[in-house]
Amino acid sequence: TQLLEQSPQFLSIQEGENLTVYCNSSSVFSSLQWYRQEPGEGPVLLVTVVTGGEVKKLKRLTFQFGDARKDSSLHITAAQPGDTGLYLCVAQETSGSRLTFGEGTQLTVNP
**Residue of the chain from 76, 88, 107, 109 that contacts another protein (CB under 8 A):** 88
**Residue of the chain from 59, 82, 96, 111 that contacts another protein (CB under 8 A):** 96
SS3 54: coil
Q: Note whether 29 and 70 are within 8 A (CB).
A: yes
Q: Is 53 buried (19+), middle (13-18) or exposed (0-12) by CB count in 10 A? A: exposed
Q: Does 53 participate in binding another protein (rule CB under 8 A)?
A: no
* 105-110/10-14 β-pairing: parallel
Q: Does 73 participate in binding another protein (rule CB under 8 A)?
A: no
Q: Does 62 participate in binding another protein (rule CB under 8 A)?
A: no
**Residue of the chain from 26, 44, 77, 78 that contacts another protein (CB under 8 A):** 44
Q: Note whether 1 and 97 are within 8 A (CB).
A: no
> Rule CB under 8 A: which residues touch another protein?
4, 9, 30-31, 33, 35, 37, 40-45, 48, 50, 88, 90, 92, 96-97, 99-104
